[in-house]
Chains A and B, each alone.
Chain A
Amino acid sequence: MTSPAKPAPLTAPRIRTPALDPLLTLGVVAFIAALVRAAFFTPPDAAQGMAQKILYIHAPSAFTALYLACGLVFICSGLWLWLKDERLDRMADASAEVGLAFMTVVLITGPLWGRPIWGAFWTWDAKLTSSLFLWFVLLGYQILRGAVEEPQARARFSAVLGILAGCLVPFIHLSVYLFRTLHPMPVVLKPSAPSMPNEMLVSFVFSMSAITLLFAGLLRARYRLATDRAELEHLEARR
């Protein structure tokens, strides 16, 4: 009878001490710089006054959450069904969570701007409404992931939700749009977008890039966290 093979030693802890995650640091610094530039070095809007400055955060966040984050969730979910690679699942997980954070920023800054401009914190504006429901979907995605123990099943279910959510977005847009055309809202001050003065445009492009960079930094950090969690689960299972 052979003696049972000694279990392989647990992999030595890979020491990764990122004192400063360079990409994330760059993102945070750029974000702060963009805030400073928007607040102090950009002239206030003629019609909207200081309130317009919130646009420098609101619009790039909306772009990031809606197109980058949700787009990534949708694409990674679809690819996961095809390739079944756990890295795709982690990427979908990471972008959904970071997207949720940016969507929260959108939902906070939108009403803050709306109060002085529209006269109400909340209006059932088409874009705001779509953002709200998408925020609920992203929240549901997180709760679903938290409710499934087995990694394979978790990846399957969240990929299914990710793809169906992608199919849902156009329908929510359409129904909110149809709703509005049938019920014209009482006067909402809707300034037709005037061509931005040069200085404002530069600030806008700057904050757009800064927030995209911040998104990339957060996404990478969150993706690493997901990898570490999977590693930890694995080590605990072997103990």
Chain B
Amino acid sequence: MPPDLLSAALIIARKDLAIEFRTRSAFFSVVVFSLLAIAIFYFAFDPTAVSSADLAPGVLWVTFAFGGLLGLHRSFGVEQAEGAMDALLSSPIPRESIFLGKAAANLVFVLAVQAIAIPGVVLFYNVGGGMVWLTIAGVTILAAIGMVAVGTLFSSVVVNTRLAELLLPLLALPFFVPIVTSAAQATLQLLSGHGATPAANWLKLLAAYDLVFVAACTWIYPHSLDA
């Protein structure tokens, strides 16, 4: 029996993570990029005018968006290189599972990068630690789901164009606007000790974004394919 939607997605996600684990090239370059960006941002602002704690959320989430883009474009690149995409498409699995599997692998990738980038921000920007970071981990997961859904879909589209990875930021960044805004604002509220209430609206927006775009992208992915 051919695998169903979720098991096929799992098989594909495991394969992608195995490739990433074997090569590790993308992961290390994105981690190094993120840490570098976080450090450079610090020197782009006047620390006497803006406190580093106010700066931290913006830096964290802008870095997140750009680092994510850097990692996402490789997602369908591995299928394209030796024509493996045709093997996936001609195998007896639902087309949606290809999208879901790729997106799940990308989600693990992005969260692993954030697991290093967030402590980097805490360290460099000297912002308060403690339990609030548990909530921020939740924000990260919500933000990453939406970003990965849209990014994975656009990654599958742009590998078939002449401009390839150059096109990905152009298409995806406008879609990251609500994510970066919500995540940065929620983080700011949480860090400045206003408690969870002011952040709640932003979190609701993020959750709604995830819901809409995970559904829309999963549904539309098969339509982006030939036949």
Contacts and interface: CB of A to CB of B under 8 A. Distances in A.
Decide if A and B touch, CB cutoff 8 A: yes
Interface of A: 81, 133, 136-137, 139-140, 143-144, 147-149, 152-153, 156-157, 159-161, 163-164, 167-168, 171-172, 174-176, 178-179, 182
A164 B217 contact: yes
Contacts of A137: 174
B162 A147 contact: yes
Nearest to B198: A182
Given A143-B170, A156-B224, A164-B175, A174 B157 contact: no
Contact of A163 (B170, B208, B216, B225): B216
Nearest to A141: B171
B188 to A, nearest CB: 9
- Which of A133, A175, A182 has the largest number of chain B CB atoms within 10 A? A175
Contacts, number: 87
Nearest to A80: B223
A140 B223 CA distance: 20
Given A140-B170, A143-B170, A147-B162, 11 more contacts: A136-B173, A137-B174, A140-B167, A148-B162, A149-B162, A152-B226, A156-B225, A160-B157, A168-B178, A175-B177, A182-B198
A139 B173 CA distance: 12
A169 B86 CA distance: 34
Contact of A147 (B161, B209, B220, B223): B161
Contacts of B163: 143, 147
A172 B226 CA distance: 31
| Most chain B Cβ neighbours within 10 Å, of A136, A152, A163, A171 | A171
